[in-house]
């Protein structure tokens, strides 16, 4: 048994040359992923391989859902983080899509240069919207953005020099060496990589300085202003970042559609698509980046699957409305909150938690299969 002896040295004398007690060694800067993060990554990986058994049809549905998830991330920033109700994310996507069409079809730019150009093209419009709407709140802000979206449909999206007229622009999917992204699988993987990068960026924005300022403005503008936060500037930044993300989504939307026509971004389709984006983010989880991804999988996939069945397609809107009301009343955190509850239940009571998850999967998958079979 060893005994540690503390030696006192008189003032002015040299310290002892040998330390009797070694300091504990700590490893800083290395942060192990939590179980929730590991579960989230595993869930994303599992969802990503769902289209594989369905071939090209599954890949097309997956592309559509992922692009709507990218557009939903713009709603997360402006509404989930900053608390601003904007009903024009699809108009920003249209600006990005048209910018991509002009850059690729008219100027001969590659897709990789058209992507940042599509994001930058939305900045002037986002600044105008932000400046004119920054002093509005709630319903008045929603009406203002809806009006601006309608105005863009009647002005910008009728400008033939930009839109190419009724024929629009035809864009080719990119090719990198031997990899041709014209195939459904390759383009699906490209969209998947893009949405994962944006998910981490938007989630990182939440904990950044400007992200914390947005959350403070959302919770209480007066307290945020008392803390020295420039409320107007914060709202303007939220609008600009939201518009740029939607512009990026518009670039991928142009690649998905191949033919970019202005009719897709005019009234009433633009307003309806913007409402769908807000709805899917609210159902997925408004204040978390993953909520846009989960909400897009839940709503857009069903919408696309039932698109060819006129009778059942009418019920998708009713289902979405009822689901939105139920989540706003009982689970305001959306499917992300439900996932956290089920995760905690699975850890504490594994049998019950896994049983509930299996029942939910069987009901949804079995119901979809039954409807398709009856059709």
Q: Is residue 296 part of a domain?
A: no
Tokens found for residue 104 = 């690729």
pLDDT in tens, 273-320: 999 899 999 999 898 898 999 889 888 877 777 776 655 566 666 777
Q: Is residue 361 part of a domain?
A: no
Q: What angle do CA 314, 319, 320 make, to 5 degrees?
A: 105
Q: Is residue 33 part of a domain?
A: no
pTM, two decimals, is 0.85
Q: Is residue 133 part of a domain?
A: yes
Q: Is residue 359 part of a domain?
A: no
Residue with structure tokens 């249209």? 94
Residue with structure tokens 């390759």? 186
Q: Are strands 169-170 and 179-180 parallel, antiparallel or unpaired?
A: unpaired
Which pLDDT belongs to residue 45? 77
246, 122 contact by CB (below 8 A): yes
pLDDT > 70: what percent of the chain? Answer: 83
User: Where is average pLDDT lowest: 8-12, 59-63, 163-167, 191-195?
Assistant: 8-12
CA distance 254 to 316: 25
Q: Are strands 259-260 and 169-170 parallel, antiparallel or unpaired?
A: antiparallel
> 104-129 in b/e burial notation, b at 16+ Cβ within 10 A?
bbeeeeebeebbebbbebbbebbeeb
Return all residues near 164 (Cβ < 8 A) that are at least 6 apart: 101, 102, 105, 260, 262
CA distance 251 to 149: 19
Return all residues near 319 (Cβ < 8 A) that are at least 6 apart: 302
CA distance 231 to 252: 32
DSSP state of 122: T
> 23-40 in b/e burial notation, b at 16+ Cβ within 10 A?
eeeeeeeeeeeeeeeebb
pLDDT in tens, 238-285: 999 999 999 999 999 999 988 899 988 988 889 889 998 999 999 998
Q: Is residue 71 part of a domain?
A: yes
Q: Is residue 155 part of a domain?
A: yes
Total domains, the chain: 1
pLDDT in tens, 156-184: 999 988 888 888 899 988 887 778 888 88
Asked if residue 365 has pLDDT above 80, the reply is no
Domain range enclosing 70: 53-270
CA pseudo-torsion sign 93, 96, 98, 100 = negative
Which pLDDT belongs to residue 6? 47
Q: Is residue 367 part of a domain?
A: no
Mean pLDDT over 123-129 rounds to 93
């Amino acid at each position: 048994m060893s005994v540690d002896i503390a030696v006192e040295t008189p003032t002015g004398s040299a310290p002892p040359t040998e330390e009797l007690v070694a300091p504990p060694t700590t490893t800083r800067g290395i942060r192990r992923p939590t179980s929730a993060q590991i579960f989230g990554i595993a869930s994303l990986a599992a969802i990503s391989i769902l289209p594989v058994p369905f071939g090209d049809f599954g890949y097309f549905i997956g592309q559509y859902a992922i692009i709507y998830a990218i557009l939903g991330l713009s709603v997360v920033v402006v509404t989930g983080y900053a608390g601003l109700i904007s009903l024009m994310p699809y108009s920003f996507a249209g600006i990005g899509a048209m910018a991509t069409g002009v850059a690729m079809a008219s100027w001969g730019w590659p897709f990789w240069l058209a992507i940042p150009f599509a994001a930058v093209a939305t900045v002037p419009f986002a600044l105008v919207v932000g400046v004119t709407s920054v002093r509005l709140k709630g319903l008045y802000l929603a009406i203002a953005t809806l009006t601006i979206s309608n105005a863009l449909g009647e002005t910008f999206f009728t400008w033939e020099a930009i839109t190419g007229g009724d024929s629009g622009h035809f864009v080719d999917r990119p090719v990198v060496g031997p990899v041709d992204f014209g195939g459904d699988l390759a383009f699906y993987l490209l969209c998947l990589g893009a949405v994962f990068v944006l998910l981490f960026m938007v989630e990182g924005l939440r904990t950044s300085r400007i992200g914390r300022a947005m959350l403070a403005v959302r919770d209480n503008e007066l307290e945020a202003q008392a803390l020295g936060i420039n409320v107007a500037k914060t709202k303007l930044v939220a609008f600009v970042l939201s518009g740029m993300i939607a512009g990026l989504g518009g670039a991928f939307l142009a690649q998905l559609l191949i033919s970019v026509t202005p009719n897709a971004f005019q009234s009433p389709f633009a307003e309806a698509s913007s409402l769908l984006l807000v709805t899917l983010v609210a159902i997925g989880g408004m204040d978390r980046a993953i909520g846009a991804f989960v909400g897009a999988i839940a709503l857009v996939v069903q919408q696309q699957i039932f698109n060819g069945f006129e009778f059942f397609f009418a019920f998708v809107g009713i289902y979405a409305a009822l689901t939105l009301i139920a989540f706003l009343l009982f689970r305001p955190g959306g499917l992300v909150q439900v996932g956290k509850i089920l995760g905690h239940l699975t850890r504490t009571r594994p049998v019950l938690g896994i049983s509930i998850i299996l029942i939910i999967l069987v009901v949804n998958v079995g119901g979809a299969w039954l409807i398709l079979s009856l059709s």
